[in-house]
Amino acid sequence: MYIVFHTEFPHQDKRYFRTAAGAKRSATCSNRNAGKPVYNWAEESWFLLKHPLGMKTVKNLMTGKDIQIAQDTPYCCDPSQERYWSM
């Protein structure tokens, strides 16, 4: 797998591709649309080594205890949100 990512916010804006050619093409088109080179591409394993995913502390709504979750946890999977408990 290959990833195209924004160089300033690598974990917020990323897209996955099966081939390196597809990732290169997407990065080139995204940079052309952005007007400056802000997108890059990399193999998934290199990306995760270079930009490790951080953790954030949130308060569990049911227990009131602080817990750590990954920064890119979706809203519906976050125990600090009411949506998590109402599904």
Domain edges within the chain: 2-50, 55-86
* pLDDT tens for each residue of 35-57: 888 999 999 888 888 887 788 89
Query: In a structure prediction context, what are the per-residue pLDDT tens digits for the chain, which is 87 residues long?
Result: 999 998 888 777 788 999 999 999 999 999 998 888 899 999 988 888 888 778 889 999 999 999 998 887 888 888 999 999 887
The vertex-66 CA angle with 14 and 50, nearest 5°, equals 30
